[in-house]
Amino acid sequence: MSLINSIQLSTSTGVKTIEIRNQDITKIDWEYDVLVVSAFPYSYSPTPGTLIAALESNLGIVVGNLSKSPFLDLRQNLSCWLSQEIDGVNFSRIICLEGMKTDIASNSNADISFNNLFGILSLLSYKKIKISKIVMPILG
């Protein structure tokens, strides 16, 4: 996995690092807590070339099945949901952001989707669900 760039940020909970890497997310060999995917609202078809398709073909994870019984379902308010814990892979859960393409089409940016992502991460922190490493494709 090649490192393209790395940025360190000071936060209220210490220094955090954002890394941009060039690799298939489904083939990362280190442990992390959450994988973020994006989808159209209530649409999880494994379209070729998408992360949802790669999860199904490379790891046997069917996002549509996970969406049926999420740990947290915030689709009505934040257009996202958090999966139950996933066994047998190197991450614990999936956060699915829904409607990012709609946000971009209507607002020319993905601000709403990213605000929703930060909202669910804040809620997880409040609920004492530890999230220290997040992996996501470059979205938006």
Q: What is the pLDDT of residues 46-100, one digit of tens each?
A: 999 899 999 999 999 999 999 999 999 999 988 899 999 999 999 999 999 987 7
Q: What's the farthest any 2 CA atoms get from each other in the chain?
A: 40
Total-model pTM: 0.84
Helix (H), strand (E) at residue 75: helix 75-78
Helix (H), strand (E) at residue 32: none
Contacts 24+ apart (CB under 8 A), 82-90: 82/34, 82/120, 82/124, 86/61, 89/59, 89/61, 90/28, 90/29, 90/30, 90/31, 90/32
Name the DSSP class of 59: I
Per-residue pLDDT at 139? 58
Residue type, 127: K
